Structure 1
Amino acid sequence: MFFSKGRKLSLKTICTALTAVSLFSFGNFLLKPSSSDRLDIHGTPTQSTIFDSRLYVQGPPTQRFRDNLRNDTKYITSWGSAGWTNDVITYANLIYLALITERMPIIPKFLSNHIDPSAPPFVFGEVFDVPRLSQAIGIHLLQWHEVKDPESQVLDDLGCWTVWETVQQNIESPEPRLNPSLDVLKLDISWTRTPHWVELISPSGKHDNHASFWPLASLGFPEARSNSLSLSLKNRPSPHHQVSLPPDDHVLCFDLLYYVGAYHTWEWELDYSPAWRFVGQHMRWTASMEQIADAHARHAMNVPPLIEPTPPYISVHIRHGDFSQQCGQIPVDQCFAPLSVIARRVSEVQEELRTHKGIDVTHVIMTSDERDPKWWSEVRALGWTWVDYRAERTEEIYGKWHPVFIDAIIQSNGAGFVGTRGSTMSTLASRRVESWHDGATRLVSWGWPGADDH
C-alpha cells in the first residue's frame, strides 16, 4: 500500500485501511485453529485447557468494581436493552470487540424488559456455556456479578462512549441510550459522544443508525483515543453525582453495541458476519438448559423419556405479535404468510434433508407468539405439535425466563428450521441449525399477499 509523499491522512482513512488489513489477518488467524485449539461444534472441545476468569480479577466480587480490577489487564463492557435475542447479539458483538481490542469482556446479566418486569435478571453463564465459549474463541470472559457484588449499594462513577447519540441521524437532539442495567449495577455514567467517523454507512450510501466495529475498536488504543478526545467532544455530567469524566481507558465501555457491523447494516443476516463466525456460533447452551429443552421437546413429540433417542425434527418459528405494526394498511390475515405457505417451506426442508442427508423427518415443532386458538388448531391439523408451557408448568417450576430459552434451544436443535424473515430470533435459529447440525433452513417472507411466492 503506497501513499503520496507528504500527504497527511485523516484518522478515518487510516481506520479504513487498517480495517481491511486487520480483518484479513484476524480472519486467517481464527480460521486456522491449531491442533491444541480445535473445537468439535457437534460435541465438546477437544482440548482440556481450563479458562478461569477469576484469574483476571483481584478476588471475590467487591463493593466497588474498580477494587476488583487488575492493573495489568484492560477490560471492555456494554449493556443490552433491546429484548433477549437482540441482547444475545449485543453481547456477541461486545465479545467480538474484545477479541479485536485484546481486552477482557465483562458481560452483564440479561434483563427481562421484553418478558416480564417481575422476572429477575438472568446470568449469561447460566444460559450459555462460558468455559466452552472461552475455549473456542481463545479468551477469558468475565461477568459483572464476578466483578462487583450484586448486593452492593455503592454508586460507582464511570466515563463511557455513547454510540447511540452519534448514529441517530434522524433525531434532532439525540441522547445516550439509557439502560436499566446501569441502575442494577449501581453505575453513574458520564457519557462522551463518539466521533462521527464511527458511523457505518452501507454500500448503497444509506445512513441506518449503525456503527462500524473497527472504528469503535480504535477507541481502545492510545492514538485514536487521544486524537478523538482532542476534538473537544463534550462529556455529559453523570445523572447522580454530576461529574464529567472522559471515557475510561481501563474499562472501555459503550452504551449499546446492537447496531454494529463490519461492512453492512443488519450483518447477522449475512453469511460472512464476523461477530457470528468468530463468536456467535460458539455460544452453545449449558448442559442443564439443553436437558430441560430436550425433555420439553420429547414430551411435545410424545416420545417416552429415556427409552429411545430424541428423534430428528423440524423446528418452526413464526413471529406475529408486534410485527402486525409493520403491516400498515394491509389486513393482518393478508400480511402474514398463511400456514399453507409455511407448510410448503417445511416440505422443502424435509425434501432437502431427505435428498442430501438421507433422513426422513416427520416431526415438526412450532414455536410462535400467535394467540389465536383457531390458528393453533390449524397447526394441529397439519400434524405438527408444540410445547404447552402451561400444561408443563414450566414457569412455575423453572421461572419466567425458561419458555423463551426453551423455544430458542428447540429451534436451534432442529435437523431443519423454518422461520420468519426479519425476526432476529429466526435469524439466530437459522444460523445455529446450519452451523451446529448442517441443517436445511428457510425464512418465510411476509408483509403483503403472495410475499413468499416463489
Structure 2
Amino acid sequence: MDRRSDECLLGESSRQDAYDDPESPFIPMFRAKSLTPAQGRNRPLRTLCTVLAAVSLLSFAVVLLKPLSYWDIEDAPAHSAILNSQSYVRGPPTQGFRDNLRNDTNYITSWISAGWTNDVMTYGNLIYLALITGRIPIIAKFIPSHVDNSAPPFAFGEVIDVPRLSKAIGIPLLEWHEVKDSESQVVDDLGCWSVWESVQKQDPHPRGSPSLNWLKLDISWTRTPDWVKLTPPGIEDNHASFWSLATLGFPEARSNSLALTNHPSPQHEVSLPPDDQLLCFDYLYYVGAQNAWEWESDYSPAWRFVGQHMRWNASLERLADAHARRAMNVPENEPTPLYISIHMRHGDFRVYCNDFPVDQCFASLPVIARRVSEVQEELRTQKGIEVTRVIMTSDERDPEWWSEVRALGWNRVDYATERTEEIYGKWYPVFIDAVIQSNGAGFVGTHGSTMTTLARRRVESWHGGPTRVVKWGSPDADDH
C-alpha cells in the first residue's frame, strides 16, 4: 500500500508535520426582528404589538452589546428543511453494514489514505460523484495520517457541518458509523472498483486504506477500465475522470467492465464483482472533470458544487475563535477583530529546495510581508476596511524564525501554552489552524500546498476576501 501523504501539488511527498493542515466552522447568529403593528386593528391589539415591538427592540439592543465574532453576521442556516439521513437506512447501526441498507436506495463510498487536507478534498470528490450518479454517499471517519497514530479516527460530522452541507447540495449524507456499528467485529465482504491500478504504473495494486481495518471490510477489487484515466495514456498523471467513473455506477458500463482483472479479498479469499447497490472505489483524491489538480481552478465542479459548502461544525468554530482571540490578546468584552491569516508550509517542503539552502529556498519574512501588504491594500481600496491584525500558521520549528514573526507584530497560536492537545486531543491543533486560516479577512499562503489551496478557496468564497500565494524554491522565486 502506498502510504505517502500526497499533501502537495508539487508531487507526492512524505508525511507532513501535524500542525500544517487545518480548517474552520460556522457560528450561527440569530437576529431579532422588530414587529410592526398591522393597520386597521383594534386598540388592544395595537397596544400588544407596541409592547412586543419594544421587547424586540430591547432584545436587539442586548444582541448588539454582546461581543460577536466578526463573521457572525451571516444568517443562520434554516436547518428545519434538511433532509433526514436516517430515513435512508433501515434503522440504528447494525453489525453488518448490508443489513442497514434500504432495498430501494443506491449508495456510494470510498476511503482515504493521504494527509488530512487531501482527505477533505477526497471526500469532496466522493460527494460530487454521488451527485452525478444519483447516489447517497457514505463517509468514513478521518484517520490520523497527520497526527500521532495513537489518535482515534475522527468523525466527518464533528469537523464539517453535515446538516448544512446536506441542505446546500440537496442530498442526504450518511457516515459509516450511522450504518455499521463502530464496535462490530463482523467482517463484511464487498466488491469494489480499483481506480489506482488504472491511473498509474508504479504500484500494480489497489490503493489501500487503514479505514478498511476500522470498518472491518474485506474487499475484492476489480480494476477499472483504462479509459477512466483523465489524461492521455502517454502522460504520467494519476487522475481519473469524474464522468468516466460515474458511468460505472450505471448498468451498461458496469456490465461491460466486469471481465477486467479481479483480486480475491485478502481475508475470506472471495472474488466478488463490484457491488451494484454500494458503488465503491479505492481512492478518489486524483479525480478531475477537465484537468488535473482542479481544486486550484475557479471552475472546479467538486469545489463549486460541494467543497465551498463544507462549512465547519459550530463547536469547532467557537473553539478556534477562542484560540484566535487569545493569540491576539482580545479582551473578553470586545468582538473578534478582522485579521489576515497566513499559512507558510516549510516542514517536508525542504526536500524540494534542491541545491539551495533553506534560508534561500523559502520565502523570507519581508517577502511574505509584501504579500500581506498587498492584501491589506486590496481590503482598503475594495472594501474600505483597515486590517492590521495578522495570524501566522506554520509547521516551522525554528524559534528564531518565530521571534522574527513576533517582531513584525504578527500573532500565532501557541498550542503548547494553550495545552490544546492535552485538553481536547491530538487532532485539534490541525483543525484549529485550518479554521483560523479560513476565517481571515484576507489570506496569504504557500505555493504548492493543498492546505493553502483550501484556505484560499474558503476565504475567497466565504468572505469575499483577497488572497495571495507566495512562490518559493529559489531566492527570487516570488519577485513580481
Compute the TM-score of the two structures, normalised by the length of structure 1.
0.88
Q: Does 1:266 align with 2:296?
A: no
CA distance in 2: counterparts of 1:134 and 1:341, whole angstroms: 41
SS of 1:81 mapped into structure 2: coil
Contact 2:82 2:164 in 1 (8 A): no
Q: Give the structure 2 partner of residue 102 of structure 1.
A: 134
Q: Give the structure 1 partner of residue 477 of structure 2.
A: 451
Q: Give the structure 2 partner of residue 216 of structure 1.
A: 245
TM-superposition CA deviations, 1:253-281 (whole Å, max 9, x none): 00000000000001100110000000000
Offset at residue 206 of structure 1 (A): 3.2
Contact 2:447 2:469 in 1 (8 A): yes
Equivalent residues in 2 for 1:26-425, closer than 5 Å: 42-46=74-78, 48-169=80-201, 171=202, 174-201=204-231, 206-229=235-258, 232-305=259-332, 307-425=333-451
2:130 is aligned with what amino acid? A
Q: Give the structure 2 partner of residue 440 of structure 1.
A: 466
CA distance in 2: counterparts of 1:412 and 1:121, whole angstroms: 23
Contact 1:353 1:359 in 2 (8 A): yes
- What root-mean-square deviation, in Å, do the aligned CA atoms of Structure 1 and Structure 2 show? 1.4
| Cα pair distance change 1:211/1:389, threshold 3 Å | same
Offset at residue 242 of structure 1 (A): 0.5
Offset at residue 396 of structure 1 (A): 1.1
TM-superposition CA deviations, 1:178-231 (whole Å, max 9, x none): 1110000000000110000000117x97331110100000000011111112xx
SS of 1:78 mapped into structure 2: strand
User: Larger Rg: 1 or 2?
Assistant: 2
TM-superposition CA deviations, 1:352-388 (whole Å, max 9, x none): 0000001100000000000000100010011101000
Contact 2:77 2:164 in 1 (8 A): yes
1:207 is aligned with what amino acid? E
Identity of aligned residues (%): 76
Offset at residue 41 of structure 1 (A): 11
1:192 is aligned with what amino acid? T
Contact 1:192 1:247 in 2 (8 A): yes
Contact 2:79 2:164 in 1 (8 A): no
Contact 1:320 1:370 in 2 (8 A): yes
Contact 1:219 1:225 in 2 (8 A): yes
TM-superposition CA deviations, 1:33-69 (whole Å, max 9, x none): xxxxxxx994333573032111000100000000000
CA distance in 2: counterparts of 1:47 and 1:127, whole angstroms: 17
CA distance in 1: counterparts of 2:385 and 2:373, whole angstroms: 13
TM-superposition CA deviations, 1:280-304 (whole Å, max 9, x none): 0000001101100000000001001
| Cα pair distance change 1:97/1:446, threshold 3 Å | same
2:213 is aligned with what amino acid? D
Gap regions ≥5 residues in structure 2: 1-71
SS of 1:443 mapped into structure 2: strand
- After the TM superposition, which of the residue ranges 404-413 and 205-214 deviates more from structure 2? 205-214
Gap regions ≥5 residues in structure 1: 1-39
Contact 2:79 2:163 in 1 (8 A): no
Contact 1:45 1:136 in 2 (8 A): no
SS of 2:81 mapped into structure 1: coil
TM-superposition CA deviations, 1:325-363 (whole Å, max 9, x none): 111222221111111110100000000000000110000
CA distance in 1: counterparts of 2:377 and 2:394, whole angstroms: 23
| Cα pair distance change 1:257/1:353, threshold 3 Å | same
Q: Give the structure 2 partner of residue 6 of structure 1.
A: none
Offset at residue 315 of structure 1 (A): 0.2
